[in-house]
């Protein structure tokens, strides 16, 4: 709809003038857009507060995927991967800690996500030592035909949740997978007791903790599915 300005020398009634001004302001306001977006397989973006976001489409047979981000706490992925086996991508946000386990006095993370009811994926923390010899995965929820690497070792209550623990080797590094026994879309995980439990088992030593990543390990999402991070934060370390 066009809006005609009043002729010079005339005045609009006060209420009409206010409405006219509001309409002009609305028309001039730009549509909100993501701070960063990428459809490149390995597109990445570092936020002002030191987090890095990755699109991270790395698996064979992958389809298209786009990541859009306002910050490490507000980002969304639309993924269209075929209904075949094998992980296609792990879009994620990460914070680098770079401290030995013995030097850490606290390390926690909070998350809030919205995930689809179909497809095959897990919502997963991925924590690495600085040499990338050890990988600790914490699955807070999962859907479809996905499963952890290795064999089941124990069921433990650590960091505010109960987990089934699996241990395996992918040929490049050791993998310790903790599968939450009940799915969660929001919560806080105390990561330090989990990392120290692994040390107490003798599976690793006083490792320097490198990346704390959080995102979606997607095997299939045919037709295009949305994965939304409403909040994510790492504290301590």
For residues 208 and 30, which has the higher predicted lDDT (pLDDT)? Answer: 208
Instruction: Name, in order, each residue with C-beta under 8 angstroms of 10's C-beta and a sequence gap of 6 or more.
Output: none
Sign for the pseudo-dihedral over CA of 170, 173, 176, 179: negative
Looking at every residue in the chain, the average pLDDT score rounds to 89
- From the list 90, 76, 85, the residue with the least C-alpha distance to 144 is 85
Instruction: Name, in order, each residue with C-beta under 8 angstroms of 27's C-beta and a sequence gap of 6 or more.
Output: none
Minimum mean pLDDT range among 18-27, 62-71, 169-178, 195-204: 18-27
Query: Structure tokens of 158?
Result: 């650590």
What's the confidence (pLDDT) of residue 34?
Answer: 85
What's the confidence (pLDDT) of residue 6?
Answer: 32
Q: Are strands 134-143 and 174-180 parallel, antiparallel or unpaired?
A: parallel
Summarised one tens digit per residue, pLDDT across range 126-161 is: 999 999 999 999 999 999 999 999 999 999 999 999
What's the confidence (pLDDT) of residue 25?
Answer: 39
What's the confidence (pLDDT) of residue 17?
Answer: 41
Tell me the percentage of the chain whose pLDDT exceeds 90. 85
3-state secondary structure of 191: helix
Query: Structure tokens of 159?
Result: 């960091």
Q: Is the pLDDT of residue 94 over 60?
A: yes
Instruction: Name, in order, each residue with C-beta under 8 angstroms of 128's C-beta and a sequence gap of 6 or more.
Output: 134, 135, 136, 209, 210, 211, 213
| Domains of the chain, CATH where assigned | 36-236 (2.60.120.180)
Minimum mean pLDDT range among 29-33, 106-110, 205-209: 29-33
The gap between the terminal CA atoms of the chain, to the nearest Å, is 56
| Phi and psi based region of residue 133 (left: phi greater than 0; alpha: psi -120 to 50; beta: remaining) | alpha
pTM attached to this predicted model: 0.86
Q: Which residues of 63-86 are buried (b: 16+ CB within 10 A; e: fewer)?
A: bebbbbbebbbebbbbbbbeeeee
Summarised one tens digit per residue, pLDDT across range 6-35 is: 333 333 343 334 443 333 333 333 345 689
What's the confidence (pLDDT) of residue 209?
Answer: 98
3-state secondary structure of 72: coil
Rounded distance, CA 89 to CA 21, Å?
48
In this prediction, residue 92 has a pLDDT band, given cuts at 50, 70 and 90, of: very high
Query: Structure tokens of 59?
Result: 């698996």
What's the confidence (pLDDT) of residue 53?
Answer: 98
What DSSP string runs through 131-154?
A: TSSEEEEEEEEEESS---SSEEEE
Q: Is the pLDDT of residue 76 over 70?
A: yes
CA-based Rg of the chain, rounded to a whole angstrom? 23
Rounded distance, CA 232 to CA 112, Å?
7
- From the list 159, 164, 157, the residue with the least C-alpha distance to 192 is 159
């Amino acid at each position: 709809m066009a809006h005609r300005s009043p002729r010079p020398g005339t005045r609009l009634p006060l209420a009409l003038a206010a409405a006219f001004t509001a309409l002009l302001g609305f028309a001039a306001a730009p549509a909100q857009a993501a701070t960063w977006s990428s459809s490149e397989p390995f597109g990445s973006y570092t936020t002002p507060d030191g987090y890095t976001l990755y699109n991270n489409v790395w698996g064979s047979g992958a389809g298209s995927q786009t990541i859009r981000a306002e910050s490490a706490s507000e980002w969304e992925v639309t993924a269209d991967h075929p209904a075949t086996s094998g992980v296609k991508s792990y879009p994620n946000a990460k914070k680098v800690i770079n401290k030995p386990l013995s030097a850490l006095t606290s390390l926690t993370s909070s998350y809030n996500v919205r995930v689809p009811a179909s497809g095959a994926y897990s919502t997963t923390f991925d924590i690495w030592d600085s040499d990338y010899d050890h990988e600790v995965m914490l699955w807070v929820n999962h859907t479809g035909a996905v499963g952890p690497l290795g064999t089941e070792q124990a069921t433990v209550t650590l960091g505010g949740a109960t987990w089934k623990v699996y241990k395996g080797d992918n040929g490049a590094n050791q993998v310790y997978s903790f599968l939450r026994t009940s799915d969660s879309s929001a919560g806080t995980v105390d990561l330090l007791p989990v990392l120290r439990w692994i040390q107490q088992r003798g599976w690793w030593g006083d490792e320097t903790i490198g990346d704390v990543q959080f995102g979606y390990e997607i095997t299939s999402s045919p037709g295009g599915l949305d994965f939304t991070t409403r909040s994510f934060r790492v504290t301590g370390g």
